[in-house]
Amino acid sequence: MARMPKEHLEARRRQILDAARHCFIRNGFHATSMQDVLTEAELSAGAVYRYFKSKDDIIAATAAEALAEVASAFEADDGARPPDLDNIVDLVLGVERPPLSGSQESAQLLVQVWSEALRSPSLCTKLREVMAEARGVVGGLVARHQQRGLLPADVPAEHVADVLMALVDGFLVRRAVYGHADSAAFRNGMRALMSAPAQATRQR
């Protein structure tokens, strides 16, 4: 019998997923053809279809990895001492840190995942799960800030968490479209907003 080392199976999957990721980032999920993926992976159709049963299967796996990247980026901050909130973008998208450090490419893929989630119920579910978990993590971070009097306590932590997560999403959009998306300037802007004199945010 000739069974190949089990690690080679995983290596091939990796090779295919990496190639597909490249193609998807370059051209989107549905404007990318299987031939594009085959060429990029330098494999034949017969080879690829041994490891994935369909194109949708490859899309799902690629999207799942992108979401896992996001999830781990948020999880990494859990349990750590609460950092400054205006640094959250850096914390989640930080340049040197492993998660989401792929920079523009990861951001671009994530935008495609969002748009694919609009038409794929299963992906939408997964996306919501990841967002819900992240909301919990960030919400906990906010709550700790509130307990220390660093944030007003009369607003649900989840509401503040939603704003912070929207900031991250918005930053990702800019990074995906523009490429550069200066995180230092972004942090400056956040700091300015958060240090606004109290009268600027009057109740109504």
Partner DNA sequence: CGAAAAAGAACGAACATTCCTTTTTTAAGA
Partner DNA sequence: TCTTAAAAAAGGAATGTTCGTTCTTTTTCG
Contacts with DNA, residue ranges (CB under 7 A): 1-5, 8-9, 12, 32-35, 42-47, 49-51, 53-56
Q: Which is nearer to DNA, 20 or 165 (CB)?
A: 20
- To the nearest 10 degrees (0 to 180), the angle between helices 6-27 and 55-75 is 90
DSSP state of 199: G
Contact pick of 111, 137, 141, 143 for a second copy (by CB under 8 A): 111
For residue 182, report the phi and psi dihedrals to the nearest 5 degrees.
-60, 110
Of 56, 58, 28, nearest in space to 43 by CA: 58
Q: Which is nearer to a second copy, 96 or 154 (CB)?
A: 154
* CB-based contact 63:113 (threshold 8 Å): yes
Of 165, 171, 176, 156, nearest in space to 115 by CA: 176
How many whole angstroms separate alpha carbon 192 and alpha carbon 196?
6
Binding positions for a second copy, 112-151, rule CB under 8 A: 112, 114-119, 124, 127-128, 131, 145, 149-151
Three-class DSSP category at 105: helix
25 binds, among DNA, a second copy, none (CB under 5 to 8 A by kind): a second copy
121 binds, among DNA, a second copy, none (CB under 5 to 8 A by kind): none
| In the complex, minimum distance from the CB of residue 82 to DNA, in angstroms, rounded to a whole number | 46
Query: Does residue 33 touch a second copy according to CB under 8 A?
Result: no
Binding positions for a second copy, 47-66, rule CB under 8 A: none
Tokens 């999920």 sit at which residue? 29
- Apex 179 CA angle, 95 and 121, nearest 5: 90
Query: Which structure tokens are listed for 150?
Result: 């660093």
| In the complex, minimum distance from the CB of residue 13 to DNA, in angstroms, rounded to a whole number | 10
| In the complex, minimum distance from the CB of residue 22 to DNA, in angstroms, rounded to a whole number | 15
Binding site for a second copy (CB under 8 A): 25-31, 84-86, 108, 111-112, 114-119, 124, 127-128, 131, 145, 149-152, 154-156, 158-171, 173-174, 176-178, 185-186, 188-204
